[in-house]
Amino acid sequence: MEKYNEKYMSFMNRLIRLTHVEPFDHEPYKELIHEICEEYRLAKGVSEFYTTFMKEQRGEGEVYCDFDNGKAERVLLRLRIITSTKAVVIGTLYCAADDAERSAEEIDELDMMLRIIIGFVSRRRLVRVIEEFGFKDMDGFNNYRAFARYLDTENFENRLGGKIAFHIDLHNFTMVNQEIGREKGDLVIHRYYKKLLEAIGDNGVVSRLGGDKFIGLFDRTIKRNVYDVFSGVAITYDDENDKKIDVTSAAGVYMLPNPYAYRGPGDIMDKIMIASNTAKRQTEGSIVVYDDKMKSARNHIKKIRSDFRTALDNEEFAVYYQPKVNIENQEIIGAEALCRWVKDRTIIPPDDFIPILEMNTDICDLDFYMLEHVCADIRRWLDEGKEVVRVSVNLSRKHLVDVELLDHIISVVDKYKVPHEYIEVELTETTTDVLFSDLKRVVCGLQDQGIWTAVDDFGVGFSSLNLIRDIPWNVLKIDRSFVPKDDEAEDSVSNKMFKHVIALAYDLGIKCVIEGVETVDQLEVLRRNNCLVAQGYFFDRPLPLEEFESRLEQKCYNLSI
Ligand code: C2E
Ligand code: CA
Ligand code: CA
């Protein structure tokens, strides 16, 4: 007994020394394990390591065995330990089938030694897991920390200056997922990442920020190769049938000055995000290089967003009215309500804030604010016995997905008891099929209620004839850019297109309003093409309420045309 204890003490001593000294030396450790196993008549010793419970269940872990004499038939002792990071470590000792009864002390000693061993295994494995968990995400991509660490080391070696940092966002990836399925979508992302890794190699780093967004840093010398991947590569998503998809990205890059005063990854992140957001608003495959002007643009966006709610509550938005005029008799036959933000006595034009409000659904609240004010004005005019014209309000496409949109509009109009035919809603065209059907639903619904509808900005962008064939609009608002110039030849393409679109609209019973008419010459073109209604600076700019009211009283312009 005495002797046995001494042996145990010496095993423990050696075990502790071997497992606590860096670097770890496997050979003497293995010898010791053999000695212990023989001394204690063990047949086999196994340790297992799983990073999570789930991996344990699936048997996806690492298994080590430093001793196995081939006679293991029965489990003698088994310990399962969960580390504070929720990793699972299991140690199992086996003996032969005819193993003699063991004393409690003997089991105790084995238990202690096994604890030291699995403690050691978990520590060693965890160092590797820290690398994996700390610098890789669940899908095995480098993560943000890997990027930050790379920046730190490059900076330490004085090699950061002159390098190129990037943030990319794959184009239309939600659509790709819808088209080819999520699983294949994931495969595409993995393969795209691999292409980036190949292009960058040892000259930089690529990390995934999650989803379809990547960041990284690379050397100027390989710029061409990397830019090629940003601009677009074909990725196979179905090996059997050799099916490929073109993956393009919106890339924002920042060229680090040389020398570069590094203040941590945050500053670089800011810049590449700003550039990539700008790229997102441009055409596919575009690469935008950061410059300081973009930063002020971003501050502007932030400011508009943070000021918007209070401005709405304080009624800082004013409705301006721009008359629509019958060019034959110069009579005002309608008006468009346009928004102005009156802030600290200056007027902010809509182009400075509407696109920002359209980035989220803030625009919807503004549009309803405008509708309320227009209805209130019309109500007042009616109550005062004035002659009233139909007023159009602009509705952003952002509303289209709102299934209660129709009810909401009607409830506002009815709240002010405004006859429906005095209200017109202007909507712009949409590019996707999903929105097209929403658009149709909304327009038909409004028509059923007697509210007028207009296609705004026709002729800009994606105008398709389906739009006027499949949806029963009342009005086509034709953008000034679609109107042919006066000096254009009669048989020029734009003259022909203009003529035929107008004729088609009339045939279908749709009225046309030409926007942005500024000159007598333009009026002449309109007349030639039988367009009767114009809206533009030639008659008036959008007017503040009182001025518009006095125009309405006059009813007609008296301009020499
Ligand atoms: P839009 O709906 O196409 O409005 C017509 C724009 O053309 C107005 O610009 C108007 O001032 C301008 N315009 C009118 N006549 C002429 C002309 O003869 N020459 C030129 N160069 N321009 C002319 P505005 O008021 O700055 O509005 C810009 C855009 O902002 C509008 O374009 C519309 O898309 C948006 N917007 C304005 N108010 C609202 C609103 O309440 N809700 C929504 N969703 N959008 C609005
Ligand atoms: Ca409009
Ligand atoms: Ca327009």
How far, CA to CA in Å, does 384 sit from each of 168, 376, 378, 387? 58, 12, 10, 9
- Cα–Cα distance measured from residue 349 to residue 314, given in angstroms and rounded to the nearest whole number: 18
Over residues 330-355, mean pLDDT: 95
Residue 46, CA atoms < 13 Å, CB-side half-sphere: 19
In the predicted structure, residue 432 carries a pLDDT above the cut 70: no
Which DSSP state fits 222? G
Nearest to 368 by CA among 334, 403, 326, 399: 399
The residue type found at 557 is Y
Whether the pLDDT of residue 265 is over 70: the answer is: yes
Distance CA 232, CA 224 (A): 13
Query: Residue 337 C-alpha to ligand 3 middle, in angstroms?
Result: 11
In the three-class reduction of DSSP (H, G, I as helix; E, B as strand; rest coil), residue 323 is classed as strand
pLDDT at residue number 346: 93
Indicate the burial class of 234 (C-beta count within 10 angstroms; 0-12, 13-18, 19 or more): exposed
pLDDT score of 277:
86
Does any ligand 1 atom lie closer than 6 A to the CB of residue 4?
Answer: no
How high is the pLDDT of residue 282? 75
CA-to-CA distance for 242 and 244, rounded, in angstroms?
Answer: 6
CA distances from 91 to 50, 60, 100, 114, 516 (A): 12, 16, 21, 7, 81
**From ligand 2's centre to the CA of 332, what distance in Å?**
17
- For ligand 1, atom 17, name the residue with the nearest CA: 516
Per-residue pLDDT tens for 73-85?
A: 999 999 999 887 7
Ligand 2 centroid vs 361 CA: distance in angstroms? 18
Task: Name the residue with the closest Cα to ligand 1, atom 12.
Answer: 516
Residue type at 129? V
Best substitution site from 338, 365, 523 to test ligand 1's pocket, by max atoms within 8 Å of Cβ?
A: 338
pLDDT score of 1 more than 60: no
User: For the residues 480-498, what does the mean pLDDT come to?
Assistant: 82
Which CA distances in Å does 259 have to 150, 159, 162, 163, 289? 17, 9, 7, 10, 18
pLDDT in tens, 440-467: 999 999 999 999 999 998 887 656 777 8
Determine whether the shortest distance from the Cβ of 514 to ligand 1 is under 6 A. Answer: no
From the CB of 519, is ligand 1 less than 6 Å away?
no
Q: Which residue has the tokens 């909401």?
A: 408
Task: Name the token pair of 381.
Answer: 């005019």
| Most confident range, picked from 19-23, 130-134, 427-431, 448-452 | 448-452
Ligand 1 atom with minimal separation from the 537 CA: 18
Q: Is the CB of 370 under 6 A from ligand 1?
A: yes
Q: Angle 235-236-242 (CA atoms, 0-180°, nearest 5)?
A: 145
**Separation of alpha carbons 463 and 251, rounded Å:** 29
List, in order, residues 6 or more apart from 331 with CB less than 8 Å away.
Answer: 325, 555, 556
Q: Is 363 close to ligand 1, i.e. is its CB under 6 Å away?
A: yes
Residue 340 Cβ contacting ligand 1 at under 6 Å: no
State which ligand 1 atom lies nearest to the alpha carbon of 349: 26
Residues 466-480 have a mean pLDDT of 89
The answer to whether the CB of 186 is under 6 A from ligand 1 is no
**Burial class, 333, CB count within 10 angstroms (exposed 0-12 / middle 13-18 / buried 19+):** middle
Query: What percent of the chain has pLDDT above 70?
Result: 97
Closest among 447, 463, 454, 458 to 426, alpha carbons compared? 454
DSSP 476: E
Report whether 272 contacts 167 (CB < 8 A).
yes
**Neighbouring C-alpha atoms within 13 Å toward the C-beta of 228:** 10
Pocket probe for ligand 1: among 515, 526, 538, 548, the residue whose CB has the most ligand atoms within 8 Å is 515
Ligand 1 centroid – CA 295 distance (Å) = 27
The pLDDT value recorded for residue 11 is 94
CA dist., res. 477 & res. 539, Å (int): 17
Question: Amino acid identity, residue 383?
Answer: D
Q: How far apart are CA 102 and CA 113, in angstroms?
A: 16
- Closest residue by CA, ligand 1 atom 45: 394
What pLDDT does 271 receive? 93
Mean pLDDT value of segment 179-200: 92
Q: How far is the C-alpha of 229 from the C-alpha of 192, rounded, in Å?
A: 8
Look at residue 211 and give its three-state secondary structure: coil
Distance 479 CA to ligand 1 centre (A): 11
* 264 CB within 6 A, ligand 1: no
Instruction: Give the tens place of pLDDT for each residue, 42-64.
Output: 999 999 999 888 889 999 999 99
Give the closest ligand to the alpha carbon of residue 454: 2
- Of the listed ligands, the closest to the CA of 513 is 3
Determine the Cα–Cα distance for residues 189 and 352; give it in Å rounded to an integer: 36
**Whose alpha carbon is nearest atom 15 of ligand 1?**
536
Task: Identify which of 361, 394, 400 to mutate to test ligand 1's pocket (most ligand atoms within 8 A of the CB).
Answer: 394
- For the residues 140-146, what does the mean pLDDT come to? 89
Does ligand 1 lie within 6 Å of residue 536's CB atom? yes
- Nearest residue (by CA) to ligand 1, atom 3, is 457
Q: Which two tokens stand for residue 448?
A: 């059923």
pLDDT band at 278 (very low <50, low <70, confident <90, very high): confident
Contacts of 146 (CB under 8 A, 6+ apart): 135, 136, 205, 207
Give percent above pLDDT 90 in the chain.
Answer: 65
Residue 339 near residue 366 (C-beta atoms within 8 A): yes
Average pLDDT over residues 135-154: 88
Phi-psi region of 7 (alpha: psi -120 to 50; beta: other; left: phi over 0): alpha
**Residue 95 pLDDT greater than 90, yes or no:** yes
Strand duo 533-535 + 317-326: pairing: antiparallel
Q: Which ligand is nearest to the CA of 324?
A: 1
Instruction: Please tell me the predicted confidence (pLDDT) of residue 92.
Output: 97
The residue written with tokens 């003490």 in the block is 9
Q: Is the CB of 457 under 6 A from ligand 1?
A: yes
Q: What is the 3-state secondary structure (H, E, C) of 243-274?
A: EEEEECEEEEEEECCCCCCCCCHHHHHHHHHH
| Residue of 354, 360, 396, 424 to mutate, ligand 1, most atoms within 8 A of C-beta | 354
User: Does residue 232's CB lie within 6 angstroms of at least one atom of ligand 1?
Assistant: no
Contact 540 CB / ligand 1 (< 6 Å): no
**Token digits of residue 80:** 């399962």
Cis bond leading into 544, ω under 30°? no
339-377: b (≥16 Cβ within 10 Å) or e: bbbeeeeeebebeebbebbeeeebbbebbbbbbbbbbeb
- Whose tokens are 């005062």? That residue is 384
Nearest ligand to the CA of 459 is 3
Ligand 2 center to 396 CA (angstroms) = 10
Is pLDDT at 413 greater than 90 in this prediction?
yes
- Residue with the smallest CA separation from ligand 1 atom 43 is 394
Rounded to two decimals, what is the model's pTM?
0.64
d(CA 353, CA 215): 30
